[in-house]
């Protein structure tokens, strides 16, 4: 293993420029950005110039053909074709969330990584937030009766105006049209009974947005037993889940006129309440916050403590996990099986929305995933 892992980045959009490229460069003792790729050649070239990258591509096939230790797939479409090709070429793979658009895609990705003996990591970075890890230390609560999850979505552009980002002209129209057509084809295969609106909500409300909340819940509570109810739209989503005796109520609301993103996960126990509040994911090193409330039964006495755990950036800690997992040969915490559980759960929620019926064991995986390495939610490693 070289002193630094040679990384190829596919997709130089907003999250690549705001977070991944920035922290790959900062972690230059672990990583070397060896190649970048974007369907827009000016964007790829500008990012390469900014970070001193020699190899610039507009075709991911050309990037995968290079000798790379890691391929990071940061595109907005399906990650499966690039991830499978990279694994087959012997590169470790990091894919941004969602891992894929269907379990069939995930099966191909998982099989390719296992056959080549490479790591496949999914970028659900909120699992590496120091405040989230502190939440795990404080769990479980006695008699956990309810979990309430509320996300107030807001425009992301106001949050990135302070960063020196590269202008992002659109890719050629034929390229974009082909990518959209491919996305629609894959969504139709993933949700054949859904109409265009249901597929849109599955793709963008669930897989792109709420997958973070679902992944965090699974990390704390394990796998859910049931989807009780789901109502999805482009503006409001309401979901009710069962985790054993604990019911989880989720609300996602799009507020396009209000630049104030807010995400809260509140855990209500018999004598204690813990609330995790997360800021916009586009703000570097903005700390999440834990609010711990308690009291004495039959008395007016109560306590309220607010913890700022750390200013360490979750995106950076996620990259440290990637490097450490590769060097030690272990599975990353957010590995392929963890990502597949998220996809299965999103699909079950979409089915509940379509059928207006509950779904049992919504995050269960098919038989081909049995016996694969998985992450136990309670096993939280301290990152360097």
- Judged on CB neighbours under 10 Å (0-12, 13-18, 19+), 261 is buried
- Whichever domain contains 299, its CATH number is 3.30.360.10
pLDDT classification of 168: cutoffs 50, 70, 90: confident
Query: Does residue 300 sit in the same domain as residue 326?
Result: no
Most confident of 99-103, 168-172, 269-273, 300-304: 99-103
pLDDT classification of 237: cutoffs 50, 70, 90: very high
Tokens for 34?
């060896």
Query: Does residue 326 sit in the same domain as residue 277?
Result: no
pLDDT classification of 295: cutoffs 50, 70, 90: confident
Beta bridge partners of 242: 226, 247
Query: Does residue 170 sit in the same domain as residue 307?
Result: yes
Tokens for 234?
């482009």
How many domains, the chain? 2
CA-based angle 169:173:175, to the nearest 5? Answer: 100
**How are the residues of the chain apportioned to helix, strand and coil, as percentages rounded to the nearest 5?**
40, 25, 35
Question: pLDDT tens-digit profile of 112-163?
Answer: 999 999 999 999 999 999 999 999 999 988 889 999 999 999 999 999 999 9
pLDDT classification of 376: cutoffs 50, 70, 90: very low
Query: Does residue 44 sit in the same domain as residue 107?
Result: yes
**Residue 232 structural domain:** 128-313
Query: Does residue 179 sit in the same domain as residue 250?
Result: yes
Query: Does residue 171 sit in the same domain as residue 262?
Result: yes
Query: Does residue 137 sit in the same domain as residue 246?
Result: yes
In sequence order, what are the residues at sequence separation of 6 or more whose Cβ sits closer than 8 angstroms to the Cβ of residue 156? 14, 261, 280, 282
Question: pLDDT tens-digit profile of 240-289?
Answer: 999 999 999 999 999 999 888 999 999 999 889 999 999 999 999 999 99
Query: Does residue 322 sit in the same domain as residue 177?
Result: no
């Amino acid at each position: 293993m070289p002193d630094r892992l040679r990384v190829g980045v596919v997709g130089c959009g907003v999250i690549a420029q705001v977070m991944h490229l920035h922290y790959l460069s900062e972690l230059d003792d672990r990583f070397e950005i060896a190649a970048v790729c974007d369907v827009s050649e000016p964007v790829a070239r500008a990012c390469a110039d900014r970070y001193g990258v020699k190899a610039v591509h507009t075709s991911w096939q050309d990037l995968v053909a290079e000798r790379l230790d890691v391929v990071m797939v940061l595109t907005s479409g399906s990650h499966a074709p690039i991830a499978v090709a990279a694994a087959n070429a012997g590169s470790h793979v990091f894919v941004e969330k969602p891992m894929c658009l269907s379990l069939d895609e995930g099966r191909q990705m998982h099989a390719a990584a296992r056959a080549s003996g490479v790591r496949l990591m999914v970028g659900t970075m909120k699992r590496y937030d120091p405040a989230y890890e502190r939440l795990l230390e404080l769990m479980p609560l006695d008699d956990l009766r309810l979990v309430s999850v509320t996300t107030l979505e807001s425009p992301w552009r106001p949050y990135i105006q302070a960063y020196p980002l590269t202008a992002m002209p659109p890719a050629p129209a034929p390229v974009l049209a082909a990518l959209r057509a491919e996305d629609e084809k894959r969504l139709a295969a993933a949700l054949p009974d859904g109409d265009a609106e249901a597929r849109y909500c599955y793709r963008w409300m669930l897989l792109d947005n709420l997958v973070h909340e679902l992944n965090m819940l699974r990390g704390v509570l394990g796998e859910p037993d049931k989807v009780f109810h789901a109502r999805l739209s482009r503006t409001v989503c309401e979901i009710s889940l069962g985790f054993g005796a604990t019911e989880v109520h989720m609300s996602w609301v799009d507020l396009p006129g209000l630049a104030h993103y807010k995400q809260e996960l509140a855990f209500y126990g018999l004598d204690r309440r813990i609330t995790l509040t997360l800021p916009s994911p586009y703000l570097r090193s903005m700390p999440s916050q834990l609010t711990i409330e308690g009291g004495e039964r039959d008395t007016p006495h109560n306590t309220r403590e607010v913890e700022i755990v750390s200013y360490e950036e979750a995106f950076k800690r996620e990259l440290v996990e990637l490097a450490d997992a590769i060097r030690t040969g272990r599975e990353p915490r957010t590995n392929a099986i963890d990502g597949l559980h998220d996809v299965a759960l999103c699909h079950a929620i979409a089915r509940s929305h379509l059928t207006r019926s509950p779904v049992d064991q919504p995050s269960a995986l098919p038989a081909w995933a049995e016996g694969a390495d998985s992450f136990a939610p309670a096993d939280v490693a301290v990152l360097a």
